[in-house]
Amino acid sequence: MIGLRVEKRLDIGATLFAFAAAIFWFFSAYGEWPQMLSYWDATPESDPFYNAVKFSARMNRWAAGFSGLSAMCMVIKHFRKVR
């Protein structure tokens, strides 16, 4: 009986983490990108395109982390069944 409760919790965790990953990936890809400007030396911190790329990368990082947690829940569930 305890094993079923743990498996159910792992299923819920995998579902929630996968949903969170989808939300973060949606945020990373949603919206229009600002126009890319050329600079002679280096891109300033205030450049809108540079900030959009940084935001997208941050959202992708979070999404990948949540996706990994979701996969980890499923791996734990699988190896609990194998034993």
Asked if the structure places residue 39 within a domain, the reply is no
Q: Which domain holds residue 59?
A: 2-32+45-82
Domain count, the chain: 1
Helices (H) and strands (E) in the chain, counts: 2, 0
User: pLDDT per residue over 18-36, tens digit each?
Assistant: 999 999 999 999 888 899 8
Distances from the Cα of 68 to the Cαs of 1, 2, 20, 76, in angstroms? Answer: 28, 25, 11, 12
Q: Is residue 26 part of a domain?
A: yes
Q: Which of 5-14, 16-25, 44-53 has the highest mean pLDDT?
A: 16-25
